[in-house]
Amino acid sequence: MSTIIQNNQVFNNEVPFCRVYSIESKKQLEERFLAHRISYFIEWQDKSILQRIFDRKGSKIVCTFRINKGEILRARELAQGIEGIKFKDYGVIKDDRIRRRSEAVKEEDTGLEMPELKFENKHDDSDED
């Protein structure tokens, strides 16, 4: 009996989705993801000394939500309207497919033409004397 998974295969489709900066936003996003069965992982960032000094209430946080890259479109729709979230930019979303910026630029015609380069020949007048 042979196994399907081989040693050199990697199945890591987890990508950073967004950064969250408040506890209320984190709770709202978690509730929406759980209700719609989107699995996630929260990666916590340490606060700097200045953030610790000036945040007396302790309501400000910094964490990154990581999700499966196949769920980015659905998760982005669910997260709309929640304050205190900064989304990771993955490029242009078109036809329910995320394309990298390099792919989007190649397909669009910008209408700009590259000008021709002109070279001038410089002659030194002192050599002709």
- Residue 123 maps to a domain: no
Q: Is residue 2 part of a domain?
A: no
Cα 106 from Cα 97, distance rounded (Å): 16
Structural domain includes residue 55: yes
Within a domain: residue 89? yes
Tell me the pLDDT tens digit for each residue of 3-57: 565 666 656 788 999 999 889 999 999 999 999 999 999 999 887 777 667 766 6
Helix residue spans in the chain (DSSP H): 23-35, 49-54, 72-79, 101-107
- Looking at the 3D structure of the chain, how many domains does it have? 1
Instruction: Give the residue numbers spanning the domain of 86.
Output: 14-107
Confidence of residue 75 (pLDDT cuts 50, 70, 90): very high
Identify whether 86 is part of a domain: yes
Instruction: Give how far Cα 80 sits from Cα of 1, 34, 42, 84, 124, Å.
Output: 48, 16, 19, 11, 67
Give 59's pLDDT tier (boundaries 50, 70, 90): low
Within a domain: 81 = yes
Can you read off the two tokens belonging to residue 31? Answer: 């509730």
Question: What is the per-residue pLDDT for 127?
Answer: 54
pTM above 0.75, yes or no: no
Q: What is the CATH number of the domain that holds 64?
A: 3.30.70
